[in-house]
Structure 1
Amino acid sequence: MSLMTYRDRWLTWLFVAPALLLVSVLMYYPMLGTVVESFYSTSFINPTPKFVGLTAYEKIVGSAEFTRVVWNSFIWTFFVVVLQNVLGFAAALLLNQHLPGQGLMRALVLLPWVLPGVVAAVLWRFMYDPQLGLINSVLMSLGLIDHGIAWLAEPTIAMGSAIIAAVWKGFPFSCVVYLAALQAIDREQIEAAIVDGAGPVRRLLDVILPGMREVIVINFLLTTILTFNYFDMIWVLTRGGPQNATHIFPTKIYELGFGQFRFGEAAVYGVFSILALALMITLYFGVQSNGSRRKSS
């Protein structure tokens, strides 16, 4: 190894070191602390940590409450991600056309995304209000219902109501991603398909979707990570209720840790959340690296 190469390598590590230190202090150290905390029993009444080992894991994993949180997290993540991507893709196809007022339409589509999560959740909470909410008013004026529905107080419909609000908040992100991908597709391929007699559906299936395949997969993985870890919407709308019908990992961790001061149990849920997120992040970077290798080959 030459002196120049040796020096360049040390300079590289020197410049990267502050970022690595910052990430370690702000991310990895708290994550390690969460893992350690999960082996101890700590509460507001008994603040002195007591080592319990894997007993807390056995207690929580075998409980119906944990099963409910896992199932809620799956339902929440699956439907929000799928609906957000489908709606975002449909909106991107529409905005990619040469329509009057296209610039204004693109700006309006972005409004839900740029709103802070708490503000969007408060707006939807007012809209879902049984007496004064806009949704019940519209449905009653159309004759579809004859009395106000407590959208966020019924265990059977609370999760669906929260999903609708989250899809409205998040679909502009997918729309922007897909709109950029649509504009990057080679126009010559689309024009060649038109010359060959391909209709809109065939162009979509044979040209557009194959050209956007990598972007679609990456966006699905990215929105899955963001949705699984999304706290604001459900906490403001329902706080995990009613009857734990909408509790997902972030809200359950917050309730146990900061609402009930059961820090050890909150840490156990946090460990499972970290493992799930680590798996999704690994898949995300794996897809990205495979795409980079295909482009370079």
Structure 2
Amino acid sequence: MMKRDRWLTWIFVTPAVLLVAVLMYYPMIGTVIESLYSTSFINPTPKFVGLAVYSKIFGSADFGQIVRNSLVWTVAVVVLQNGFGFLCALLLNQKLPGQGLMRSLILLPWVLPGVVAAILWRFMYDPQLGLINSFLISAGFGDQGLAWLADSSTAMAAAVIAAVWKGFPFSTVVFLAALQNVEAEQIEAAKMDGASATRRLWHVVLPSMREVIAINFILTTILTFNYFDMIWVLTRGGPQNSTHIFPTKIYELGFGQFRFGEAAGYGVVSIVVLALLITLYFITQRGGRRVQA
């Protein structure tokens, strides 16, 4: 009977394993192989060059800038998204009038397609007709609109703000669910001991949410590092490569300049970073299960 059950398990699992292998691992292996060849629009025939593509990538000034941009982009979006999401979750966890409607409306930015959200923000950042410049001018901050997306000193910040607006509802929902699972008896006991709201938050609520906060930070880091839509629609990596991150650089090299070898090389580096983040995610989950056990 046990042997039969084992065979049935393999019969049902095999299609899923094959599907994952075909859709995920085969393209990843193909990307690694592609990175060992040099291909260009002028010379489309792949030429084996070994690790020369990686040597070229790591030795270029663009790579250092891409790494810095990706680091700034990921850290800024993740910290602001989670911070703002946590504050909104605290607010929505209170007994307020229209609480159900507020919880529904706050999801609107998240459910919007990424391209649609990016186009909306591009219109808002428009130097002449944009809502942001109109508001700043009417408030007395200058007499002409700023080209937010055309200035290398403001383009990244503008993209970060748009990405935070798009992503903070995800963190809000996660943190709100975690807040509702905090034991009310612990909070009441802290109140009876005379603990202020700040102390209750710091010593009771946050420790109870520690695992959820850690997992959400890692998940949003993975999603943000791999986020393509917002920056590509807003700036296409410009101006002067000031907003290029790994996904946009890969797309530009592969589909814009037909330098598939270099695009694959950047893709492999991106895969390594994502693999490390995913490993950290599973380690955090396993640690959380051990604490619960």
Q: TM-score range by the shorter chain?
A: over 0.9
Q: Identify the residue that residue 132 of structure 1 maps to in structure 2.
A: 129
Distance 2:289 2:3 in 1: 28
Task: Give the counterpart letter for 1:57 in structure 2.
Answer: Y
Instruction: Name the counterpart of 1:114.
Output: 111
Q: Secondary structure at the match of 2:84?
A: helix
Give, as a single letter, the amino acid of the residue that structure 1 aligns with 2:244: H
Residue matched to 2:272:
275
Residue 7 (structure 2) aligns with: 10
What is aligned with 2:248? Answer: 251
Residue 170 of structure 1 is matched in structure 2 by 167
**In the TM superposition, what is the alpha-carbon distance from 1:66 to its structure 2 partner?**
0.5
- 1:30 and 2:35 aligned: no
Residue 222 of structure 1 deviates from its aligned partner by 0.3
Tell me which amino acid in the other structure corresponds to 2:145: G
2:148 maps to 1:151: yes
Letter in 1 for 2:259: R
Give 1:220's aligned amino acid. F
Following TM superposition, by how much is the alpha carbon of 1:7 offset from its aligned partner in structure 2, in angstroms? Answer: 2.2
| Aligned partner (choices 65, 70, 75) of residue 67 of structure 2 | 70
**Aligned amino acid, residue 203 of structure 1:** R
> TM-score when scaled to structure 2?
0.99
- The one-letter amino acid paired with 1:258 is F
Aligned to 2:259: 262
Aligned-pair RMSD on alpha carbons?
Answer: 0.7
Identify which of 192, 203, 210 aligns with 1:213.
Answer: 210
How many residue pairs match? The answer is 293
Structure 1, unaligned runs of 5 or more: none
Query: How far apart are 1:292 and its partner, in Å?
Result: 1.5
What CA distance in whole angstroms lies between the structure 2 residues aligned with 1:88 and 1:14?
A: 43
CA deviation vs aligned residue, 1:105-153 (integer Å, no higher than 9, x gap): 1111111001000000000000000000000000000001221100000
Distance 2:285 2:170 in 1: 19
Name the counterpart of 1:288.
285
What is the CA distance between 1:44 and its match in structure 2? 1.6
Aligned counterpart for 1:104 among listed residues 101, 106, 113: 101
Determine the structure 1 residue equivalent to 2:192: 195
User: In structure 2, how many angstroms separate the alpha carbons of the residues matched to 1:286 and 1:19?
Assistant: 24
Superposition deviation, residue 293 in structure 1: 2.3
Shift of 1:6: 2.3
Which runs of 4 or more aligned residues in structure 1 lie more than 6 Å from their structure 2 counterparts after TM superposition? none
- Percentage identity across aligned positions? 74
**Correspondent of 2:183 among 183, 186, 202:** 186
| 2:70 corresponds to 1:80 | no
2:115 maps to amino acid = V
Gaps of 5+ in 2: none
Q: TM-score, normalised by structure 1?
A: 0.98
Q: In structure 2, how many angstroms separate the alpha carbons of the residues matched to 1:197 and 1:78?
A: 37
CA distance in 1: counterparts of 2:194 and 2:10, whole angstroms: 57
